Amino acid sequence: MKERYYAKSLEEDFCTKTLKGKKKVSYQTIYDIVKNKKINLNTKSFGRQRRLSCTIIDKNYLKTYRSRGIIFKTQQSPRYVLPFDLILLSATDNIIVQYYRIKNNLHIYYNHTLIPGFEKFIFKDFGKLKEKFPTLARVWEEVNRFRKANGYKTLPIQKHRLVEYNEAVFYKPVKIEPVAIFGYTKEARKIAKKLGLHCFETSKEFYNSLNKKGK
């Protein structure tokens, strides 16, 4: 099986966050993640159980939820994988792309329900996802068809970024092998140096570096 690399997006302070009531609080720092080689479950939304949502880096998926974070490997397998951000399956027409516009109101946006039948977009592994959706064009077409069939508006092209990364979901804390930091700021490079990890501006730059090495 092809070696998988995952990206976990972090916030401006290089921490994961979680919701405590209506308030978003710091949960785990990048230093804690690398020291303990473990990422804890922090995501809680759409009525589903607490989980860890990451992105599998692949030629079709070279974007990330946020512009900074950690790239890692793990021996654990995700419980399931989605071909896009889960928010595209939420039962609302008010879907926001830019995280900064909702980060202070996550308790509102993350409490939406999911459109009945959303399970058709859940895959047990990444290989099966790619068989069904070999291109992002097909993903985009299918999710718009699904939303329209259920009485919701088709998505404007401005929302396309939400299909440019996938969601690999874990229900148990993930033991990791840290690989690199990604982020385009001086702070990202500073943290990477302190942790003894390579720093790439984006997950795409990291993916291209693998191709150069022939991995």
Domain count, the chain: 1
The pLDDT > 70 percentage for the chain reads 88
Q: Token match 């996550």: residue?
A: 106
pLDDT at 100: 46
Pairing of strands 177-182, 198-200: parallel
pLDDT at 73: 98
Question: Does the structure show a pLDDT above 50 at 205?
Answer: yes
The answer to the question of residue 96 being in a domain is: yes
The answer to the question of residue 113 being in a domain is: yes
- The model's pTM is 0.90
Beta bridge partners, 168, equal 54, 81
The answer to the question of residue 199 being in a domain is: no
Question: Does the structure show a pLDDT above 60 at 4?
Answer: yes
- The pLDDT tens digits of the residues spanning 16-57 come to 987 776 677 778 999 999 999 999 998 876 667 889 999 999
Confidence band, pLDDT 50/70/90 cuts, at residue 108? very low
- The pLDDT tens digits of the residues spanning 62-96 come to 999 999 999 999 999 999 999 999 989 988 887 76
Average pLDDT, the chain: 89
The answer to the question of residue 187 being in a domain is: no
pLDDT at 211: 80
pLDDT at 107: 42
pLDDT at 214: 64
The answer to the question of residue 50 being in a domain is: yes
How would you class 170 by CB atoms within 10 Å of its CB: exposed for 0-12, middle for 13-18, buried for 19 or more? Answer: buried
The answer to the question of residue 209 being in a domain is: no
Distance CA 1, CA 62 (A): 20
- The pLDDT tens digits of the residues spanning 128-165 come to 999 999 999 999 999 999 999 999 999 999 899 999 99
Confidence band, pLDDT 50/70/90 cuts, at residue 176? very high
Q: Which range of residues forms the domain containing residue 154?
A: 6-179
For range 176-191, the mean pLDDT: 98
The answer to the question of residue 152 being in a domain is: yes
Report yes or no: 107 and 22 within 8 Å, Cβ to Cβ.
yes
Q: Which of residues 213 and 119 earns the better pLDDT score?
A: 119
